[in-house]
Structure 1
Amino acid sequence: MTEGWIILELDLNGINADSLVQMLKASFTLENWDGILQIADKLYSEINHFYSINQRESTDGQKESDFGLKRSIVYYFGFSMCLKGIALEKMGRYEEARECISKYEELGWINDMDAGGWAEVEYYSEIARANRYVIDLNEGNTEVLPDYLVFLRHNYEELLPGMTHILESAIKHEYNVDEVLIEFKEQIESMEEYYETKRNIRYYLDFIYLKAKYYSLNGNIYDAINILSYAMASSVKFKDDTGFRKSAALFEKLRNQTTPEQLDKYLGLMEQILV
């Protein structure tokens, strides 16, 4: 059982594809990895069914049904397996995660794509390459880090997720990434408002928390505690219970090493929550 979750079989019958996409996004925010596995499989099955119908209609010379989808079929194939792969990676099931990547790294087999569909093919091909680097880093293969950094320098929108993956790997395998944090510091800070959106808040708060954890493990307690205070305040601001719980737990672990000013700031935030 995944810690913090009771695994239940979700009733996903009758839920349309775009609603399943929203459920996947919500489950990702809540870090409900088991839920993602179920929802992603349902979405993939649903889209595969739609695609099969479209192919029969095309063969018979009929107009293809759109099934009320908001995006191209390529998007749903890619998104379902991408989120499933991320969930499996988070659960440490790396080989299964690689199998998911193989299902969305080359989606050019899909027939009758327009320009938007081909753009999705290219996007998921890039994401697949990045996610292979992530799995390698999680397994302790730090030799891929320079290549992953090259990818991040050329894919600005992936910078924040990438930095969370790098910090997770550095913490797990105990290696130094100070120079990486310094290199991207100004870029991340300059796009703070962009990250503070509903789409990116999970990565943003994870990055702050992991940065604090990394600093604490490397003896920089003072900065770690200051970052945790900011992480908790941000979690309260964005009503993110997951981020708050993790940051508060780490703060309590480091509580005996806080300065009086840092402890006062923490207690002040707790008072605000109780109001």
Structure 2
Amino acid sequence: MEHTPTIRSKIETELKQRGYSFSSFSKISGINRGTFSAMLNSNPPKPISVRQMDLITKALGYPEGWLYELYIEECFYEGKGHWKRIKPFLLRCVELGRQDFIQKVLSRLTEDLSYVPTIFSLAEELHAEGKEKESVPFYECVIENERYYHSERLAISQYRLFRIQLGTNAEENLKLTIQFSPFLYRLPEAYQLDALLQMANIYSSLHKWSQTIFHSQKLLELATRIYEYRKAQGYKNYDELGPYSSERSLVVYYGQALLMQAYSLQKQELYQEAKKMVSRYADLSWFRGLDEIGQREVEKIKMYATANGYVLDLLMGDNRNLGDYILLLEENEQEILPGILTLLEVANKQFLNIDYILNHFSDYIRKFSENEDALYMDDYCNFNLQLSIYRFYSKNYTLGIDTILRNLELATLLNNSNVFAQSIILFEKYKGFATKKQYAEFTIHKKKFEKDFNFAF
């Protein structure tokens, strides 16, 4: 039977082959001679720390991680997990990106399920340090091994993965939302706020307006309940009420819930209902418990209300505030893309010429294609659709078709079948104006989307 080397036998073999004594190796490794001797000769031997293991590895000229496979046994000396060794080892493996060793340690640890809370604490520690991707295997481990389905720990782990895994792929984001939704109401309320906002945003990006309104209404109810409870708790001095300990200011969730409902109503052409909703977030200065950040958010939400009021007037045929709206866009760069998208929708419905506006904002429009944020990409796709329609109405067919082709490329990147379908329909309507090169490019995009996503048009 072949003898399996231990970390100590491996080190001893290397020292013997290279002719090192404890004294000479102590000098080149920086480890105290007595400490080094105790690690190899004491009975029981003195534990080897991760730092000491790395010093030994460096002194022997081996690459980082050389002894890590054997060190796992050091972490489970005599079959029992020793967290004081395991945690530093896991953190070092995180630094080196050694997922293989992380998985082996977690697999050994979870033979004893009493370690699940400890693993969760480490995951939260990594997350708090901004190491979100690195925390994933630890949250996954908790999810796989948590015994109690209704535990808050399991819900938070599911929530963390949901947030970390969100990306630019719209359909994948929807799947993540559906997978996470059973755990929503097991979260602490502070987490529920942000989860509901994320879910509403995802449904909005896919133009699922009823679901957007549903989750926005739930967000409004939760934010209102938290606010009223906190105000009641501090009813004698609620002017001094401190900010709520959520990811964002409580007023943001309250305002965004109303804003997203108004936007959903607008997109369904229910303009009067949308205007009533806009009036509800036009001035939130009455909101208590605002710090400096919260007060700035109130001003930002007020600006959104002004902008959206102009938008609804324009959509209903009232162009008197068009100049004020353009001025507002100039002063708020983040509003330029959705603002011009709205102006294109208005122009296409009312057959207006807005070339001078598009030229005025041309530098900003050019920047939008470089932003890879999922929500901006969604707006940019819709912008391209409306811009194509505008160019077709202006009889600028070549540019219109080029814009549609760019949108097909983006829709494939985002896996957004809704945008792809709208772009296909628009191309088919004007395909008689396409050049042979444009038609060939269209065919390639269409076939690629159908193949990659098993979706037939």
- Say yes or no: TM over 0.5: yes
**How far apart, in 2, do the equivalents of 1:116 and 1:13 lie?**
27
2:332 paired residue among 149, 155, 166: 155
Tell me, yes or no, if the aligned pair for 2:401 and 2:438 is still in contact at 8 Å.
Answer: yes
The answer as to 2:210 corresponding to 1:21 is: no
5+ long unaligned stretches in structure 2: 1-180, 187-191, 453-457
Q: 1:45 to 1:104 in 2, by over 3 A?
A: same
Amino acid at match of 1:164: L
Query: Which residue pairs with 1:85 in the alignment?
Result: 262
**How far apart, in 1, do the equivalents of 2:219 and 2:410 lie?**
32
Question: What do residues 187-231 of structure 1 show as CA deviations (whole Å, max 9, x unaligned)?
Answer: 21134322x311311111111111001111221111111110011
Structure 1 runs of 4+ aligned residues shifted over 4 Å read: 10-13, 60-68
Note the C-alpha offset of 1:133. 0.7
Question: What do residues 132-159 of structure 1 show as CA deviations (whole Å, max 9, x unaligned)?
Answer: 0110110111222111111111111100
Moved more, 27-36 or 238-247: 238-247
**How far apart, in 1, do the equivalents of 2:351 and 2:183 lie?**
41
Note the C-alpha offset of 1:68. 5.8
Tell me, yes or no, if the aligned pair for 2:389 and 2:400 is still in contact at 8 Å.
Answer: yes
Query: Which residue pairs with 1:181 in the alignment?
Result: 358
Q: Report the secondary structure of 1:111's partner residue.
A: coil
**How far apart, in 1, do the equivalents of 2:217 and 2:252 lie?**
15
**How far apart, in 1, do the equivalents of 2:311 and 2:294 lie?**
26
Tell me, yes or no, if the aligned pair for 1:54 and 1:65 is still in contact at 8 Å.
Answer: no
Query: Which residue pairs with 2:276 in the alignment?
Result: 99
Moved more, 138-147 or 161-170: 138-147
Q: 1:11 to 1:100 in 2, by over 3 A?
A: farther
Q: Report the secondary structure of 2:320's partner residue.
A: helix
Q: Report the secondary structure of 2:313's partner residue.
A: helix
| Percent identity over paired residues | 26
Amino acid at match of 1:38: F
Query: Which residue pairs with 1:73 in the alignment?
Result: 250
Q: Which has the larger radius of gyration?
A: 2
Amino acid at match of 2:399: D
Question: What do residues 15-34 of structure 1 show as CA deviations (whole Å, max 9, x unaligned)?
Answer: 72221111110111110111
Note the C-alpha offset of 1:76. 0.8
1:39 paired residue among 215, 223, 232: 215
**How far apart, in 1, do the equivalents of 2:258 and 2:313 lie?**
18
**How far apart, in 2, do the equivalents of 1:173 and 1:117 lie?**
39
1:236 paired residue among 412, 419, 433: 412
Query: Which residue pairs with 2:296 in the alignment?
Result: 119
Note the C-alpha offset of 1:240. 1.9
**How far apart, in 1, do the equivalents of 2:302 and 2:241 lie?**
26
Tell me, yes or no, if the aligned pair for 1:30 and 1:242 is still in contact at 8 Å.
Answer: yes
**How far apart, in 2, do the equivalents of 1:261 and 1:191 lie?**
26
Aligned residue pair count: 265
Tell me, yes or no, if the aligned pair for 1:208 and 1:227 is still in contact at 8 Å.
Answer: yes
Moved more, 39-48 or 59-68: 59-68
**How far apart, in 2, do the equivalents of 1:107 and 1:77 lie?**
9
5+ long unaligned stretches in structure 1: 1-9
Moved more, 16-25 or 263-272: 263-272
Root mean square deviation, CA, Å:
2.2
Moved more, 175-184 or 66-75: 66-75
Query: Which residue pairs with 1:205 in the alignment?
Result: 381
Moved more, 57-66 or 246-255: 57-66
Query: Which residue pairs with 2:34 in the alignment?
Result: none
Q: Report the secondary structure of 2:373's partner residue.
A: coil
Q: 1:12 to 1:87 in 2, by over 3 A?
A: farther
Moved more, 114-123 or 66-75: 66-75
Amino acid at match of 2:373: T
Tell me, yes or no, if the aligned pair for 1:12 and 1:42 is still in contact at 8 Å.
Answer: no
Tell me, yes or no, if the aligned pair for 1:167 and 1:211 is still in contact at 8 Å.
Answer: yes
Amino acid at match of 2:300: Y
**How far apart, in 2, do the equivalents of 1:91 and 1:12 lie?**
30
**How far apart, in 1, do the equivalents of 2:345 and 2:264 lie?**
15
Q: 1:140 to 1:61 in 2, by over 3 A?
A: closer
Amino acid at match of 1:246: Q
Higher relative contact order (CA 8 A, sep 6+): 1
**How far apart, in 2, do the equivalents of 1:219 and 1:162 lie?**
23
Query: Which residue pairs with 1:5 in the alignment?
Result: none
Q: Report the secondary structure of 2:370's partner residue.
A: helix
Q: 1:161 to 1:266 in 2, by over 3 A?
A: same
**How far apart, in 1, do the equivalents of 2:418 and 2:326 lie?**
28
**How far apart, in 1, do the equivalents of 2:332 and 2:414 lie?**
26
Query: Which residue pairs with 1:250 in the alignment?
Result: 426
**How far apart, in 1, do the equivalents of 2:183 and 2:324 lie?**
40
